[in-house]
A and B are shown apart, each in its own frame.
Chain A
C-alpha cells in the first residue's frame, strides 16, 4: 500500500461557480490504476465526484481523462507511474480537452467526437447486393483494418489534437481513423468517393499537421495519424485526387523539395505547392502570402540569400532513401496487427524498416512490437 494524492479538476454547473482543483488522498498499491484511486475517493470521501467508467480494463473507452496534462484512460494508468511523472508528486486529473466539460471529469462527447464520427458516413457502403455467403477478401486486409477497429472511441486523440484546437471543424484523428476502417475494407464500394470527400473537405485529411500527439495519446495503438497518412497516400498517389485545398500538391512539393535539396527550401515550397513559379495560381497565392513572407524575413527566419540561392543539394544518402522507398513493388505501411516478428521468416520487411508504435497511456513507455505489412498499390 502506498499513499497517492489525486489533484482533481472539479466543476459543477449547478454551483454557479467556475472550475477549481481539489486534492484527495488515496491508499492503494502503486500498480493499481488512477481510476481505482478515483473510485476509492468516490466510495469513501465524495460520491459527487463524477467520471464516466465501466469496464475498468481499457475496453469500453469511458474513462478518458487528462493525467498530468496528457490524455489517457484512467483505468490503465498506474498510480505509481502517474506519480513519478507528475510535477510535484500530486497526480493531476482533469477532463479531456477540445470538448466542453459537463461536470468534473465528464465531457460532452456528443457535441464534438460523435458529431465528427457521424460526418464520415460511418457505415459500410457495399456495391450491389451481398453475396450468398461471406464476402471473400484477403486475410491481410481484415487484419489490416483491425487496427482501426481496435479504436474504443475514448476521445483521447481528440483531446490532444493540435489541429482541432486551431480549427474546431477539423474532422479529427478518431473520425479519420474510422474512415480508414472503410477505405481499407475491400467490401466497401465507395473508396474513391470517400477519399474525394475527405480530401476536398477543407477540414479533412490535409488539415492534419503531423504533430504525432494522437499516436501518443491513443491507448489502443490505433495510431490515428498513420491512418490519416494512409488516407492521403491513397487519395493523392493511388486515386490521384487533385484536391481544391492544394493538400496533395503541397505534400508533393515537400517530397520534391527534399529530393532536390535534402533540406527544406522554403522559397520553392510555396510556388511548387501551386504548380510552380510560373503557374497562374501561384501569383495570387504569393501575393496573399506576402505578409507572412515579410514577417519571416524581418524575423530572420529566412534570409534573402538562403531563400533565393539555396546552398544545399541532396546528399547521396537522401537519394538512396528515395530510390529504396520508390523502388519497392508495393508500398509498406506500419500496422500494429500485421506484425512481422523475429519468429516469422516471412515477415515482409527487414528489421530496420519496422518502427515502434508507442502504446501510450501508463505503459512506462514500453513500445509495442510493430511491423510493416504489405499494402497493395493501386494503379
Chain B
C-alpha cells in the first residue's frame, strides 16, 4: 500500500508544480490524475501568463490591476504575494525550458491582455498553457524516481480521521477498476474547476468539480462560488474558446450594425476591459437586438497582419477552420459569452491550506482568493503555478512534523460496496447523460451573465430534483476495465454539489459585482457585500457564512475601463 508525505490529486499545472516543489523539498510525493497529465485542462489556457518582469513595470501595478479586475473582492494579501512572486516564477519556467516568445533582442517579449495597464503577458504563440504543461511534464519524466505518477487513477473520496483531519484518499485505477487506499500526511487538491456543470462551456469534459465536491463533503468551506466567469469570445455552437490573445493582438468586436460597441461601454480599454465587462456588453447588445441572427457578436481578427496571426494565433486559425468553417485571417468569426472559469472554490490561505487539517488546494479548484469577482486573463496560469508551488512547499514542510496516518481499511470496503451498487443499478430512472444535460442547460440559462432571484430559485428547485434523480441514475457498463460509465455517475454527483453551492452563493449575494450581475440588484454595494460568502456542509444541509475581504493598499473605488 503506497503512502506519501504529499499526495497530489490532479496533474495539471498546479499539481505538477506542487509535485516539483514538494519533491525538491525532500518529501515523498505521489501525483495522481484521472487522465494522463498532458491531457489536463491547463492545456486550454492559450493566451499567456502575467508577470511584471519588465523593469518599467511593477508588481504593484500588476496587483492593482488584479484587485480592480476582481471588483475589489480579491484578497489583497494573496494578490500581493502572487504578483510579487510572478517574475521569478516566469524565470524558473524559462530556465526549465518553456519556449517563451522573444523580442528582436532575444529577450522575453510580451503581448497586451485584458484589464492590464501594461503589456505584461508572456506567451508561447497561442499554446502557452500547453507549452507550460508539457515542459512541466518533461520535468516529471526527469523526476520519475522522485515522484510516483498515478496516471488514470480516479479519486472517489477523501479520507478523514476522527478529529476531522484529511488522511489520504481512496482511488480507483481506471485501467482495471480496483480500488486502493492511499494514506498521506497531506493531500493537495489540484483537480480543476467544474465547468462541465454548465453547457455549453469552454471547459474540457474532465472538468467536473471532483475536488471541490470532495473537499465540501469532508467539511471544507467553499468560497466565492457564485463568481462564474463568462469569457467574451466563445464559439456559439459548441462553446469553444477563442483566446483573449486575439484581442490582445488587436482584434475588434462589432455588433450586427457594424458598430464597435465597446466604445460605449469601456471607452478607454475597449475590447481589453475586464472579461465580465466585455461579456456583459456583448450580452446587452445581443439582448437588445443588435447581435447577429444566431445570437452572436463578430470578432474581427483580419486587422492583425497575417504573418503575425500565423505565427502567434495559429491555434485559433485551426479552431476557426475546424469548428466554425471560418478562415479568421480573412473574415470575422461569430462569438458570444460562454462559461469559462470559476473564481470560487475550496477556501485556502496563502499556503494553499484549507480549514481541514492536512488538506490543501491550488489552482482552479481553490479560492485563495486572488481573482475575487472576476479573473483577469493570463492570471489563471500564474495562480496555478504560484499557489501550486507554495502548497507543495508547505505540505512538504508539514510532512516533517506529522506522523503517517493509519490506513482506514473499513472505508475501503464501504467504498467498494458503494461503487458496486452504482454499477448494479436497475435500468429504471434516467440515464446519467440526460441528467447531466439538464444540469448544464439549467445552469447556463439561469446562472449566466445576468441573474435574478426568480431564475436562481427555479434553478435550485431543478437541482434538488436532479440530485435525487442522480442517486438512482443508471449506467450501461457492468465491467471493470475502463468503466467510464461508472466514473460519469460519480462525477455527476460532484457536479450537482458544485452547481448547488454556486446557486446558493448567487442567490445570497444581493448585489452586482464582477461576474455576478443581478438584474434585481444592479449596483455594487460595498456597505453590505464587500465580503466573501463561505458555504460549508458539516451535516446534511449547507451552511452559509461570511468572511471579510483582506484589504492592504487599495480601497474600493468605482471600476471603469
**Does A363 contact B321, Cβ atoms closer than 8 Å?**
yes
Residues of chain B contacted by A320 (CB below 8 angstroms): none
**Does A110 contact B151, Cβ atoms closer than 8 Å?**
yes
**Contact mask for chain A residues 255-297; partner B; CB cutoff 8 A; 1 contact, 0 none:** 0000000000000000000000000000000000000000000
Task: Give 26 pairs: A residue, B residue, CB < 8 Å, sorted on A.
Answer: A44-B433, A47-B484, A54-B204, A55-B204, A55-B205, A57-B240, A60-B40, A76-B318, A102-B175, A104-B482, A110-B151, A117-B141, A123-B141, A134-B95, A135-B95, A137-B106, A139-B102, A139-B104, A142-B99, A142-B102, A151-B134, A152-B38, A337-B125, A339-B311, A363-B321, A366-B321
> Given A48, A59, A145, which contacts B479 in the complex, CB threshold below 8 Å?
A48
Which of A43, A117, A149: most chain B Cβ within 10 A? Answer: A149
**Does B124 contact A149, Cβ atoms closer than 8 Å?**
yes
Q: Check B97 for interface membership: any CB of A closer than 8 A.
A: yes
Residues of chain B contacted by A139 (CB below 8 angstroms): 101-104, 106, 109
Decide yes or no: A59 and B138 within 8 Å by CB, A47-B485, A52-B39 being known contacts.
no
A interface, by DSSP: helix, strand, loop or mixed?
loop
- Distance between Cα atoms of A182 and B134 in the complex (Å): 13
Q: Report the nearest A residue to B46, measured CB to CB.
A: A59
**Contact mask for chain B residues 102-113; partner A; CB cutoff 8 A; 1 contact, 0 none:** 111111110000
**Does B431 contact A59, Cβ atoms closer than 8 Å?**
no
**Does B431 contact A12, Cβ atoms closer than 8 Å?**
no
Residues of chain B contacted by A146 (CB below 8 angstroms): 99, 124-125, 127, 131
Within residues 78 to 121 of chain A, which ones have a CB less than 8 A from any CB in chain B?
Answer: 78, 102-104, 106, 109-110, 117-118
> Given B109, B305, B433, B483, which contacts A43 in the complex, CB threshold below 8 Å?
B433
Q: Check B488 for interface membership: any CB of A closer than 8 A.
A: yes
> Given B106, B142, B322, which contacts A76 in the complex, CB threshold below 8 Å?
B322
- Distance between Cα atoms of A14 and B175 in the complex (Å): 12
- Distance between Cα atoms of A139 and B308 in the complex (Å): 13
Residues of chain A contacted by B124 (CB below 8 angstroms): 142, 146, 149
Q: Check A58 for interface membership: any CB of B closer than 8 A.
A: yes
Size of the B side of the interface (Cβ < 8 Å), in residues, is 73
Residues of chain A contacted by B323 (CB below 8 angstroms): 57, 76
Q: Report the nearest A residue to B485, measured CB to CB.
A: A47
**Does A339 contact B97, Cβ atoms closer than 8 Å?**
no
> Given A118, A145, A151, which contacts B99 in the complex, CB threshold below 8 Å?
A145
- Distance between Cα atoms of A48 and B99 in the complex (Å): 40
Q: Check B117 for interface membership: any CB of A closer than 8 A.
A: no
Q: A-side interface residues toward B, CB under 8 Å?
A: 12-14, 31, 42-44, 46-48, 50, 52-62, 76, 78, 102-104, 106, 109-110, 117-118, 122-124, 126, 130, 133-139, 142-143, 145-146, 149-153, 181-182, 185, 187-188, 336-344, 359, 362-363, 366, 369
**Does A60 contact B94, Cβ atoms closer than 8 Å?**
no
> Given A53, A59, A143, A359, which contacts B130 in the complex, CB threshold below 8 Å?
A59
| Further pairs besides A57-B323, A153-B38, A337-B314: 10, Cβ < 8 Å | A31-B325, A42-B484, A50-B484, A60-B38, A60-B39, A142-B102, A146-B125, A185-B97, A363-B322, A369-B310
**Does A149 contact B127, Cβ atoms closer than 8 Å?**
yes
**Does A143 contact B141, Cβ atoms closer than 8 Å?**
no
- Distance between Cα atoms of A362 and B306 in the complex (Å): 23
**Does B305 contact A343, Cβ atoms closer than 8 Å?**
yes
Least Cβ distance of A119 to chain B in Å?
10
Residues of chain A contacted by B437 (CB below 8 angstroms): 43
Q: Check B545 for interface membership: any CB of A closer than 8 A.
A: no
